[in-house]
Amino acid sequence: MRDPHCPSCGTPFVRVVYDEGPMGRLLNRFRILSFRCQLCTTRFRAYRNQTPDQTAVADRRQYKRLPVSFRANLLAENAVRIDNRVTDISMGGCTLETTTILPQGTFIELVIKPASDEEPIKIETAMVCSSRSESMGIRFLEMVTDDKNRLSQVILSLLVGQSLHSNLLS
C-alpha cells in the first residue's frame, strides 16, 4: 500500500498528527490515522497498514519544523520593529532567534525574507507561544492567501531538498 497523499493538493508531504478524544483513539486502533498536509494544511484521515513510529506519536506538532536561516522583521504591539533570524519554519509557525524576548501571548506582525530575490512573506497576525533566553516560538495565526501560497512554495522547496538529501545518503 502506498503512502498517503493529501486529498486536496496531492502532495506526498503529509504527517501523522495526534488525535485527541475517544473517537480519534478508537479510529487509531483500526489504523485509521489523522494526517496533516505540510503544504496546504488540510487535515484528513486515511487507513495505514503500518503503525506510526513512536516519534510521530510522541511529537504533537501538526507540522514538521524545517531548519532555515532567514531574515525576519518583527513588529510588536508597541510598534517597535526588531530584526531577527528565523532558525526553523513550518506552515504553522517558526522559531525566531532574537535579542528582544517578548512575553508569551504577545501578538505580533512578522515579515520573513526567504531570499534576497524573493518577495517577503507577511504574517499579519502571529503569537509568541514560548520564550527562551535567545529565541521565541511563534505560531502563525493570519496571513493573506498570496503570502500563504509563497510560504507553501518555500516549505515545498525545503521538503524536496530534504528528501533529495536523504535519498542521496541512503
For 51-106, write each residue's pLDDT tens digit: 655 445 546 778 899 999 999 998 876 666 778 899 999 999 999 998 888 899 99
CB 104 within 8 A of CB 113: no
List of domains in the chain = 14-58 (no CATH), 66-160 (2.40.10.220)
Encode pLDDT of 113-146 as tens digits: 998 778 999 999 999 999 998 999 999 999 999 9
Which pLDDT belongs to residue 146? 96
pLDDT of residue 80: 64
Q: Judge residue 40's burial from the number of C-beta atoms within 10 Å of its C-beta, 0-12 exposed, 13-18 middle, 19 or more buried.
A: middle
Task: Answer whether residue 32 shows pLDDT above 90.
Answer: no
Q: What's the average model confidence in pLDDT over 148-156?
A: 94
